[in-house]
Every structure is written in C-alpha cells, then in structure tokens.
Structure 1
Amino acid sequence: MISTPQKSIASIRWLNAPTSWSWVEQANARPMEVLIDHAHCERKAAGSAVQMMFRYLCEPGLGEVLSPLAREELDHFEQVLALIKARGRYLEPLPSPGYGAELAKHIRKVEPLRMLDSFLVAGLIEARSHERMALLAEHSSDPDLRELYGGLLLSEARHFGLYWTLAESRWPREVVTQRLAELAIYESQALQGQLGAPNDVRMHSVGIQFET
C-alpha cells in the first residue's frame, strides 16, 4: 500500500519548493505514463549534455565531464526502455508538460552567461528528477518501479552535482548561487497549477507544495 500522505515533502537544496503529495498520487495512479516519460527524459538529458559539449567544443575540461554523463544518461534510458518493453509497451510519443521549454526561456542568450544558465538549468532539472524518483522509490506500490527508481538515485544526485561543479569552477560562488536562486524560482513557477487530465501526469508535470 502507498504510505500515508505527509504534511510536507523534504526538498533538496537546489529546489525552491518541494513536490506536492498530489503529484505522488497522480504518478502512482498512472505508472506507465510516468515510466514512458522518464525514458524520454533520460534521452533528452543525454542529448542536452552532448549539445553543450559540442557548443563549447574547446572549453577546457567540459568534454571530460559531459561525455561520460551523456553515456550514463543513455544507459539509464536503456534500463527504463527495457522495463517498458517487458510490460508490453514501447517508447510512445507523449505530449510534453512544457517544463523544459519553460526553463529554456530563462537561459540568457549572450555568452558566457548562456553557458552559466545552461549548466544551472540542466542541474535544476536533474535535481527535480532526483527528488521525484526518490518519492517514487519510496511510495510506489510496484516493486519493479521501486527498484528502478531507487537504483538511479545515486547517479541522478551526482549529475546535478556535476553541473554545479562546472558552474562554480568558472564563476565566483556568489554569482552562481545568486543566479541559481533566480532560476529556482522560475523552475518552481513552471510546476505550479493543476493537472488537466489524469493521463497528463509526467515526471515533470505540475505539482509543487509551497510553505504556508
């Protein structure tokens, strides 16, 4: 059985607001939609790392970090895809919740600020993924899903740490922390609102909890 709802869900340091219990219930009610969307998320995360690696081809130390990160994201994609196929489904197209596109709007266009924002937005997405996978690992009624999500947590935590390190190694900490705080507000705003229909639940669909 799913655990009794908590009054609050602990948030990790990067995030401005924690996920709501309603999202956990929605995700557990539609596990295949979340699982298929998770596969898309891993694929997109790999693509984002490769895109940055090629955009900043000559940036010292970047390829050495982003290339193995992209490979690990693809390994996660394959793990999720294998479970989807084992359940008689495949990587179906799903309407996007618009979360990533909304965050991308806040990446500044002028370099080197674009690089900083790209690192921090990618890190915020990884942080939210980590938080929500941890919730599913704890509260899903499906043992296979608990095992899958729980097995990915360490890697996901390392990924948002890598993006933080890339930023902090290139800008003063106060610059990084100030911009992260600004982007974290936009990230939480992108998750505000109510789910339109039960089948619209995604790994990054709306559902956050602000302190009162």
Structure 2
Amino acid sequence: MQQLLAPVHAFLRCETPRTWIEAARDPSSLNELLIDHCNCELKAAQTAMFLLRRYALDKDSGQSLLTWAKPYEEFVYLKDRDIEQFLARDVKKNELVANLQPNPHFTYAQDLIPPLIRLIKEEFHHFEQVLELMHARNISYQNIRAGRYAKGMMGFVTTHEKHILRDKLIVGAYIEARSCERFAKLAPYLDAELSKFYVSLLRSEARHFEDYLKLAQLVSSEDISERVAYLGEREAELILAMDEEFHFHSGQPAIKEECMAQGLS
C-alpha cells in the first residue's frame, strides 16, 4: 500500500485533515459517505465520457459511447429505479463492442481513447460495487449535487480554449489522487468488508491519476509543471478550508454555530 501511495502523496500538496477523517469514520456518516462515493464513481465515468466525446471521438463513435452507457444513465435519472434489476442485468449484453473512431481533427485523439475507455469501464464497475454494498446494507441510492470541491476545482480551469483540455485533465488527476488518498485514510476505521473494498480500489485509482497527468502533458505543447503546481495549491486550499456540507471530497467539517456558542469543539 505504501508503495502505491508514495506517488500520490508526492503529487498532492496536503494530506486530508484529521477533522475530516474523524467525521467520516463516525458511524452516523456511513450512509452519506457511501451514497456520495457512489455518485463520485458515476461522475468520474461521465467526466471521462465527456472528454472523449468532446475531443477524441468522431460523431458516430460518440453516440456509440452514449448508447453503451445508457443503462447507467437510465438507472440514475429514472425515479422508479430498480437496484436489483440493474445489478442482475446481463452485463455481457452491454459490452462496448463498437469500433471507436478517433476525431480526425484532433491530433491526440487516438492517444486519449484507450486510457479513458479503460477508466470509464473501471469507474462504472466501482459504481456498481458501491451500489451493491449499499443495497446489502439497505441504503437507498440518491442523486447528490456537486459539492464545493468539484465546483471549486472546475472554477480554476482556464477559459482559454487552447488549454482547457490540459487543465481538465490535471483537475481529473487531482480528484483521482485525492480519492486514492482518502480510501487509504479511511480503510483502517471501517468494518472489514468496506476496509477490504477500499484497499482494493487503491491500485486503479493510483493509476488513474497518473494516466490523467500523462495525457495532460501529451496534449500540451508546453511543460505543465507550473500549471500542475498552481492547481495543486488550489486543490489543497479547498481540502483545508471549512465546509458546511460533508462529502467524500469535502474540506474540514465546519464547527456548528450552536457548538461554538456552548464553547464546544
């Protein structure tokens, strides 16, 4: 585990605050934690899909990707969702068999397709794994709006069209690296089943951050080190700041006003 985490810790500008870990390990936070984690896995897949369709795939291939992901979209956005039916479906019938064609107008299209397709498949698989754990614990799936962290990170993406993809890939690297770090931080405090599951996620999540970072450098004609450092500092600020809401990627839990009035921490 330490070997896997070494590059993650070297990449991130700060560690998760102890206050967040204490809040996350509280049994009363477990439902919220798993629901948000489930949403995060889905959003990670959707983000990679957007990047592929926006930059790397031709129009027909982009549509094929949407068709492949349709069962996930339907499950999430239909109000009368059936978790058991979704988890029991024949996944082999939903294999991505289309021969995806690169966007001929984007130089690095073919370079983006294999790593991002692999990432999407893994994130959807993790989504199903978390969903199955939730179902076994009678925790209902809920859609959750993006927290301050995700919106904050995207707010730092440049508006210059030439560098938007570079920045989005770097942001993706930080989100994946932070996920990996938090899986490791949480694992010792969770029950045996969840602890084993979170440790199992470390390998793929660690690779995801490195894939995103390599792609960011690939699509940039300039060295990205300065931009990586800038976005890393912003990411650390978001993680260390106080947050009113608890999320998988939130900052430090804010002290409630009523507690402050009583002189409690």
Residue 189 of structure 1 deviates from its aligned partner by: 1.6
Q: 1:161 aligns with which of 210, 223, 226?
A: 210
Which residue among 19, 24, 34 is the counterpart of 1:22? 19
Matching residue of 2:140: 90
Q: C-alpha separation between the residues in 2 aligned to 1:93 and 1:169?
A: 34
Q: Which amino acid aligns with 1:128?
A: R
Q: CA deviation at 1:162?
A: 0.4
Residue by residue, what CA displacement relative to the aligned partner does 1:130-176 show, whole Å, maximum 9, x if unpaired? 00011111x2241111011111010000000100111223336x721
- Distance in 1, matches of 2:243 and 2:137, equals 26
The correspondence of residues 10-49 of structure 1 with structure 2, limited to 5 A, is 12-29=9-26, 30-49=29-48
Preserved CA contact (<8 Å) 1:136 1:145: no
The normalised TM-score by structure 1 is 0.85
Q: How does 1:49-68 map to 2 (within 5 A)?
A: 49-57=48-56, 58=103, 59-68=109-118
Aligned residue type for 2:234 = Y
The within-5 A match list for 1:51-200 is 51-57=50-56, 58=103, 59-94=109-144, 96-137=146-187, 139-171=188-220, 175-196=223-244, 200=245
- What's the offset of the Cα at 1:192? 3.0
Question: Equivalents in 2 of 1:117, 1:82: separation in Å?
Answer: 33
Q: Secondary structure at the match of 2:161?
A: coil
Over 3 Å counting, the alpha-carbon distance change for 1:84 and 1:67 in structure 2 is: same
Deviation track 1:28-48 (CA, whole Å, cap 9, x = no partner) reads 111221111000000000000
Q: Structure 2: give runs of 5+ residues left out of the alignment.
A: 1-5, 57-102, 104-108, 254-265
- The number of residue pairs the alignment matches comes to 194
Q: Distance in 2 between matches of 1:108 and 1:87?
A: 42
Q: CA RMSD in A?
A: 1.9
Structure 1 runs of 4+ off > 4 angstroms? none
When structure 1 is superposed on structure 2, of 56-65 and 66-75 the one drifting more is 56-65
Check conservation: 2:52, 2:113, Cα contact below 8 A.
Answer: yes
- Aligned in 2, Cα 1:141/1:115: closer, same or farther, shift over 3 Å? closer
More moved, 40-49 vs 184-193: 184-193
Find the aligned partners of 1:27 and 1:179 in 2 and give their Cα distance: 31
1:36, 1:92 within 8 Å by CA — same for their partners in 2?
yes
Per-residue deviation, 1:95: 5.0
Quote the Cα distance in structure 1 between the aligned partners of 2:14 and 2:135. 34
The answer to whether the Cα contact below 8 Å between 1:46 and 1:73 also exists between their aligned partners in 2 is yes
Q: Aligned to 1:12, what secondary structure does the other structure show?
A: helix
Pick the structure with more helix per residue.
2
8 Å contact 1:127–1:156 — kept in the other structure? yes
Q: Which runs of 5+ in 1 are unaligned?
A: 1-9
